[in-house]
């Protein structure tokens, strides 16, 4: 009980939240710097990332996904509705280790959908609810506080809890996509040795941004709960 009380102490939570926000900023900067470093080191296979992506998809029996180029840096993503893997300007035609790692990671998401990977199915089921909760929670909570309605404030907290749950489910999805990417790159010989280590570092740095975001949200949730508990007293 003492541990629970400590975790719900406003001062402790605020300090931890501040530390988590700083960590999140560091994680974000680390992704950019790590990618920049390994996007200057070229793979011996000399395959551009777009061709690597196509090869990985075909190896897994996936032929109905387009690979397109999009503007920006690290704007890469997989859109399951449009069946498109979008690779950014710094990734699409590059044969650098960093670019290949990012492209393989997005293919990992496509493979997850093709194989009906459990966590990604759960995330998709939750997505429509999260879209509503992420927009509504702060307004419901603030109105509840303004009107002195603990019920509304608690509803806001429940809404935010759904957002946190979504972030939690996202973690295994991202780690699994990276693991699939690295395994495929090794098995195919597209990368080897130090090249594999470079790609792994890029994907690990990216994964840490999801970890830090979850940490910030969890602490924010604890802060909301602590605030509501103090109003009850």
Active-site positions read 106
Strands (E), the chain: 66-70, 77-79, 84-88
Residue that has been written with the tokens 């001062």 in this structure: 11
Cβ–Cβ under 8 Å, residues 191 and 205: no
Cβ–Cβ under 8 Å, residues 91 and 107: no
Alpha-carbon Rg of the chain, whole angstroms? 21
Q: How far apart are CA 58 and CA 55, in angstroms?
A: 5
Token digits of residue 21 = 């926000």
Q: How far apart are CA 101 and CA 155, in angstroms?
A: 41
Cβ–Cβ under 8 Å, residues 149 and 203: no
Q: How far apart are CA 210 and CA 126, in angstroms?
A: 17
Using DSSP's 3-state secondary structure scheme, residue 156 falls into helix
């Amino acid at each position: 009980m003492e541990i629970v009380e400590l975790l719900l102490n406003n001062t402790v939570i605020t300090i931890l939240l501040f530390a988590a926000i700083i960590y999140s900023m560091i994680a974000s900067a680390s992704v950019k710097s790590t990618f920049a470093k390994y996007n200057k080191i070229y793979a011996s296979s000399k395959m551009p990332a777009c061709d690597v992506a196509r090869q990985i998809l075909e190896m897994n029996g996936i032929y109905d996904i387009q690979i397109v180029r999009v503007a920006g840096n690290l704007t890469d993503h997989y859109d399951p509705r449009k069946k498109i893997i979008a690779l950014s300007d710094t990734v699409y035609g590059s044969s650098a280790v960093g670019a290949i790692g990012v492209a393989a990671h997005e293919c990992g998401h496509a493979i997850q959908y093709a194989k009906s990977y459990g966590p990604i199915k759960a995330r998709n089921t939750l997505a429509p609810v999260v879209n509503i909760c992420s927009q509504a929670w702060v307004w419901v909570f603030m109105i509840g506080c303004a009107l002195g309605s603990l019920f509304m404030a608690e509803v806001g907290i429940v809404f935010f809890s759904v957002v946190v749950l979504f972030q939690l489910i996202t973690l295994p999805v991202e780690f699994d996509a990276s693991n699939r990417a690295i395994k495929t790159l090794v098995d195919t010989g597209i990368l080897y040795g130090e090249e594999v280590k470079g790609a792994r570092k890029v994907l690990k740095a990216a994964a840490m941004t999801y970890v830090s975001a979850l940490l910030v949200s969890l602490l924010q949730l604890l802060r909301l709960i602590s605030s509501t508990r103090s109003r009850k007293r």
